[in-house]
A and B are shown apart, each in its own frame.
Chain A
């Protein structure tokens, strides 16, 4: 299960990243409070290349290279197949960043750990980015990326 991004309909508006950021780190989806009071961090980057844009989401790979490489065992796969980070255990070594072929995982703002897409597993409903894309460019798909 992962979020698929369609460059045909992606406008590069960035709303997905805003809502992603507000859906994490305790802001509970409150966009206004998140951006007025804090420094929320989106979990995925927008790539703009040759007149096309798309969200560089986590593929939640079947045999994820990041989980294999993680020095501390912080990166794990839950029983829904979602690859997530136990941020208490993350030491910010960036080995996972180095081995993700899609370049999805990013350093946290303070550079002491990493953040990645977790399909909004701590929120109710579908991932925030899919929910708030104004042009239907993002969808939740069941296809699995196998290694």
Chain B
């Protein structure tokens, strides 16, 4: 047997003055990092640790610490420790490196280089605790004139929706938590490409169902048990390739909902094999509208890529009521590492450009713009609305609210938080009653913060924030970046 050249990624520290040998860390770690013998001897198998912190959070005496494994290489700004480890792994496995969640690389975050305005003296601030603040948002085709028939719209009381996360990538308890929270907060959740499980059908009125390239679970029943249908062309984490649910996550429940065999890889092809041109997309949109009697908005979701403006324009002209754009920080349950980390463009750029282009072409009212991929907090929401989005999708933030620690091993299905797994025992760890409460709390908190920021700007309705570049100033940005975003620099 040859020696593995891999060292552990994390170091597990145990404070012996605090450890009471209760064994909770042992029984809670699916990766079997902790061991306890009958005679009270405790040790760790550190190479199994993925840094999810389940043990540290549940330890009743806070005896555990998780740190990066202290193995320093000679300083090398070019060959980072991670780049070396990735080669060691490939040398041992011969395989494509898989990963989960979103792009962690230190590319520039434009959110962190945009500042918001506030009122001073003129156009006074509004106190959200004293005055009504309108966050209600309608998504869909707003181009109908007064004398024409109204097009179907989605009504949101907060411009934040839960992003597409399929049953299979996440557990049913995650979907139940988000569905309940969506209903409570009057917004929407998205089934992702895994179909709609029976136990969440009752949330039809706040569900967006996805039709992806694998067409998993798509049937007339599926389309009609929804408030809107979203055709997924791509997602920010893996533009240009299809979805991939590893066989170990295709449990019987997942198989039944997707209408595929259990325990075999569920691959969605890269393109929809019936969409090879923009006209084909128009045809699918029309077909879905006919199948749902024109009662529901049809959305199209794409990844933010190089010609996103032209693509978005085409999508709107093809009849989509909502265009959802997923930036390169978008997360996933499983994707090749290189694809996730190197493909796509920032959502701030994409939204700013698409919004401007659609306005220039005079078709902006025909479709709402939804931004996805890397919304971390309410300030990011306000900024992306100001850059032109009508609403946002949150994926990572929602899962973090449910307990995710971004260990990026979702693709294994061994999620200690019961989130990115379909294993029945692990799924129990997310009690949907608690999950729903946490998701609701997150949205409530953000809602209040958004109102505070808007009030500070002297705005009392989200319509006045939408696309309002004057509310943003760039800081530390090059001129061409400012131009692309359509904002002026701080101080100017």
**Which residues of chain A have a CB within 8 Å of any CB of chain B?**
8-15, 18-19, 31-32, 35-36, 51, 132, 134-137
Structural contact, B60 and A8, CB atoms closer than 8 A: no
Measured between beta carbons, the chain B residues less than 8 angstroms from A137 are 431
B475 on the interface (CB 8 Å rule)?
A: no
Q: How far is the CB of A19 from chain B (nearest CB, A)?
A: 7
> Which residue of A13, A35, A51 contacts B58 across the interface (Cβ within 8 Å)?
A13
Q: Kindly state the separation between the CA atoms of A35 and B58 in the bound complex, as whole angstroms.
A: 17
B18 on the interface (CB 8 Å rule)?
A: yes
* 26 A-B pairs (CB sep. < 8 Å): A8-B428, A9-B431, A11-B28, A11-B428, A13-B24, A14-B24, A14-B27, A15-B22, A15-B24, A15-B58, A15-B60, A18-B22, A18-B24, A19-B60, A32-B18, A32-B20, A35-B21, A36-B17, A51-B424, A134-B58, A135-B428, A135-B429, A135-B434, A136-B431, A136-B433, A136-B434
Structural contact, B20 and A36, CB atoms closer than 8 A: yes
Q: How far is the CB of B391 from chain A (nearest CB, A)?
A: 31
B61 on the interface (CB 8 Å rule)?
A: yes
Structural contact, B28 and A13, CB atoms closer than 8 A: yes
Q: Kindly state the separation between the CA atoms of A94 and B433 in the bound complex, as whole angstroms.
A: 40
- Having A8-B428, A18-B60, one finds 5 other A-B pairs with CB under 8 Å, namely A18-B20, A31-B61, A35-B22, A36-B17, A135-B431
Dominant SS at the B interface?
loop
In the complex, the chain A residue whose C-beta lies closest to that of B63 is A32
Structural contact, A14 and B20, CB atoms closer than 8 A: no
Q: How far is the CB of A140 from chain B (nearest CB, A)?
A: 15
In the complex, the chain A residue whose C-beta lies closest to that of B432 is A9
B23 on the interface (CB 8 Å rule)?
A: yes
Structural contact, A31 and B60, CB atoms closer than 8 A: yes
B120 on the interface (CB 8 Å rule)?
A: no
Q: How far is the CB of A38 from chain B (nearest CB, A)?
A: 11
- Given A13-B27, A136-B431, A51:B425 Cβ within 8 A: yes
Dominant SS at the A interface?
loop
Q: Which 9 A-B pairs have the closest CB atoms?
A: A35-B20, A9-B431, A136-B431, A135-B431, A136-B434, A32-B61, A13-B24, A18-B22, A31-B60
Q: Kindly state the separation between the CA atoms of A19 and B23 in the bound complex, as whole angstroms.
A: 14
Q: How far is the CB of B237 from chain A (nearest CB, A)?
A: 29
Measured between beta carbons, the chain B residues less than 8 angstroms from A19 are 60
Measured between beta carbons, the chain B residues less than 8 angstroms from A51 are 424-425
Measured between beta carbons, the chain A residues less than 8 angstroms from B425 are 51
Q: How far is the CB of B88 from chain A (nearest CB, A)?
A: 35
In the complex, the chain A residue whose C-beta lies closest to that of B28 is A13
Measured between beta carbons, the chain B residues less than 8 angstroms from A35 are 20-22
Chain B 19-34: CB-based contact to A (< 8 A → 1; otherwise 0): 0111110011000000
Measured between beta carbons, the chain A residues less than 8 angstroms from B60 are 15, 18-19, 31, 132
Measured between beta carbons, the chain A residues less than 8 angstroms from B433 are 136
Measured between beta carbons, the chain B residues less than 8 angstroms from A8 are 428
Q: Kindly state the separation between the CA atoms of A146 and B23 in the bound complex, as whole angstroms.
A: 36
Structural contact, A31 and B428, CB atoms closer than 8 A: no
In the complex, the chain B residue whose C-beta lies closest to that of A17 is B22
Measured between beta carbons, the chain B residues less than 8 angstroms from A18 are 20, 22, 24, 60
Q: How far is the CB of A132 from chain B (nearest CB, A)?
A: 8
> Which residue of B20, B23, B28, B424 contacts A31 across the interface (Cβ within 8 Å)?
B20
Q: Kindly state the separation between the CA atoms of A18 and B19 in the bound complex, as whole angstroms.
A: 13
Q: How far is the CB of A120 from chain B (nearest CB, A)?
A: 17
Measured between beta carbons, the chain A residues less than 8 angstroms from B428 are 8-11, 135
Measured between beta carbons, the chain B residues less than 8 angstroms from A14 are 22-24, 27
Measured between beta carbons, the chain B residues less than 8 angstroms from A11 are 27-28, 428-429
Structural contact, B20 and A12, CB atoms closer than 8 A: no
In the complex, the chain B residue whose C-beta lies closest to that of A133 is B431
Measured between beta carbons, the chain B residues less than 8 angstroms from A36 are 17, 20
Q: How far is the CB of B93 from chain A (nearest CB, A)?
A: 32
